[in-house]
Structure 1
Amino acid sequence: MTDKPTLRQRLSGQLVIALMHGLARLPLGLLRAMGNVLGRFLYLVAKPRRRIVHTNLQLCFPEVSKAERRRWARQSFVYFCQTWLDRSWLWLASPEVVRRRLRLTGQVHELDDPRPLILLAPHFYGLDAAGVAMALGSTRTAVSIYTKQPNPVLDAWIKERRARFGQVLLFNRSEGLRPVIKALRNGGGLFLLPDMNFGPRESIFVPFFGVPAATVSSLSRFAEIGGARVIPLLAKVTRQGYEIEMLPHWQDFPTDDIVADTTRMNREVESWIRTMPAQYFWVHKRFKSRPPGEPPIY
């Protein structure tokens, strides 16, 4: 049973959809310029979120100068706005335009291997582009877990747009793991984003840049239950669009030690963040959940 949208939700949803249709027609350079202005403005006015970004960067990069961390924080807001605007053409532009702006590199041949596959996609701002590139670059069914939007009109529209290329299965987190595991065992490519704080009930505490962070252990569990290979998928914003790189699949993973597996995942994510620190999703309260007895960070 679907939620029936209110009049306000219908109007606001239709307004956002109309806006995205208009943005999708603009040249990429103009969209990026708009994102630059919006990001710098948001950095100035969104004080609570700016404080979160600064706190995250200070915890993770204490060795970096305050001026450099401030530059990263400001650029992070710019990437946030630019990639939000880019969703217009990712979801609405012609396949030719989208292909021209996405460059899929690395171990792309792995997509042709019929065995179950997990694409480990950390929360860089180019995540949506990575998902589209995977759907465009393979005949494999793309599987992903998503969080439902509060506006039913936008929720249905976004779900439809994200599934417009190739074969895509989107499962709501509320549906549980069973349908995801079934799709994975049937040869689907699971697009997994496990590097967010989903609370202590679903997580274990392992280091992230040396700070205990509540981290879901789903990567190790999905790989074990589904008999799947794990391939990191990194999305980088470029002037021409996005570069999405598929790294070699992990050897000796998973093990019988879920804590060690999850620690390895965080350590690998750290190494990728260091190559493009401003493009990571620092606006998220990564350290909101704390180990018992430890004071809050934010």
Structure 2
Amino acid sequence: MLTLLRVFSLLPLRLLALIGTVGGWLTWAFSGRYRARLSNNLRQAGLYSKATRNAAIAAAGQALAILPKIWLRPNEEVKRRIVCNSLDVIDKAEREGKGIIYLVPHIGCFEAAASLLASRKPLMAMYRLPHKPYLNEVLRLGRLREGMTVAPATLGGVRELARALKRGETVAILPDQAPSGGEGIWVDFFGKPAYTITLPAKLWRMSGAAIVITEPRLDALRGRYLVDFHRFVPPESDDPEVFTLAMNKALEDLIRRMPDQYLWGYHRYKHPAGAPEPPGGLDKHREGLV
């Protein structure tokens, strides 16, 4: 697999995007569960249209196909393809000296955003072991790039993230990834309860770090990555539910601006093992889910 990925990393970005588009449509054609989940999630968000659906199918395939280009090529090469018009947001956050918590949702070329951030300050990302062991080496290789380290999704890993922030460094968290049971709470995401990670709220309370949301997009036609940043101002509350709900609302606003780039096929509304029942009970929550 590594050999195949290295070959893919040498291909032009536009060609990879084309291959990804074909792969996205093949997945749509042969996976009824994927078709249903992508469409249902779009409808839940009130963003369904045939044009948006079709663009999201292509974008999901492209996001996967370009990963070798980001993970296995030199960081400087990746950076040359990045266009960013909001570095002032990061500059201001860095001057505050309390570290930065980057919220990196599953949208566009989110791995390219990590390459840009790691080139400025040491970046530590939360890392969850994949269910398929053979993918572990691939993911670790991709995420142990220059300037990047990973912390396991364990209590020890959380302590590592906290220490990094205390040193004034930066951490990256996927805020829309369903956490394991006991690591989140049920709060609305596009009007439906979604089990959502509370780690950003906890780290912010411990460190007072700045919180920045990334907005990464793939511009396949021009062969480049568009990355922007937005400061997230947490609500004045010590309640993690208040923080987490506000975080989800900020993510919703971002996704509404670029619905074609979001990975709608992700099982965002699943009930993780060990998590409490969602509001209204499991039967009601499972309505419309696949």
TM-score, length basis structure 1: 0.84
Aligned to 1:11: none
Using the alignment, how far apart are the partners of 1:205 and 1:189 within structure 2?
Answer: 27
3-state SS of the aligned residue for 1:230? Answer: strand
Going from structure 1 to structure 2, the CA distance change for 1:147 and 1:46 (only over 3 Å counts) comes to same
Task: Indicate which of 184, 189, 206 corresponds to 1:203.
Answer: 184
Q: Paired residue for 2:193, among 188, 203, 212?
A: 212
Distance 1:259 1:104, change over 3 A: same
Matched, 1:183 2:168: no
Q: CA RMSD in A?
A: 2.1
Residue type at the aligned position of 1:25: L
What secondary structure, in the 3-state scheme, does the structure 1 residue paired with 2:85 have?
strand
Letter in 2 for 1:219: P
Partner of 1:124: 107
Matches within 5 A, 1:215-294: 215-239=196-220, 240-247=223-230, 249-251=231-233, 253=235, 255-289=237-271, 290-293=278-281, 294=283
2:62 corresponds to which residue?
82
User: How far did 1:80 drift?
Assistant: 1.9
Deviates more, 1:102-111 or 1:49-58: 102-111
Q: Which runs of 5+ in 2 are unaligned?
A: 272-277
SS at the partner of 1:201? Answer: coil
Is the CA contact 1:236–1:243 (under 8 Å) kept in the aligned structure 2?
yes
Residue 21 of structure 1 aligns to a residue whose secondary structure is: helix
Provide the C-alpha distance between the structure 1 equivalents of 2:115 and 2:36, rounded to a whole number of angstroms: 32
| Distance (whole Å) between structure 2 residues aligned to residue 229 and residue 74 of structure 1 | 36
Check the 8 A contact 1:143/1:184 in 2, yes or no: no
Asked if the contact 1:50–1:73 (Cα under 8 Å) also holds between the matched residues in 2, the reply is no
Native 8 Å contact 1:223 1:254 kept in 2:
no
- Taking only the aligned residue pairs, the percentage that are identical comes to 25
Paired positions, count: 274
Change (3 A) 1:212 1:132: same
Following superposition, the deviation at residue 153 of structure 1 comes to 5.3
* Distance in structure 1 (CA, Å) of the matches to 2:76 and 2:187: 43
**Distance of 1:282 and 1:267 partners within structure 2:** 17
Q: Is the 8 A contact 1:124 1:235 kept in 2?
A: yes
In the alignment, structure 1 segments of 5+ residues that lack a partner are 1-15
Describe the SS at the equivalent of 1:178. helix
The alignment partner of 1:232 has SS state of strand
Cα separation, 2, equivalents of 1:144 and 1:183:
10
In the alignment, the residues of structure 2 paired with residue 94 and residue 141 of structure 1 have an alpha-carbon distance, to the nearest angstrom, of 16
Equivalent position SS for 2:84: strand
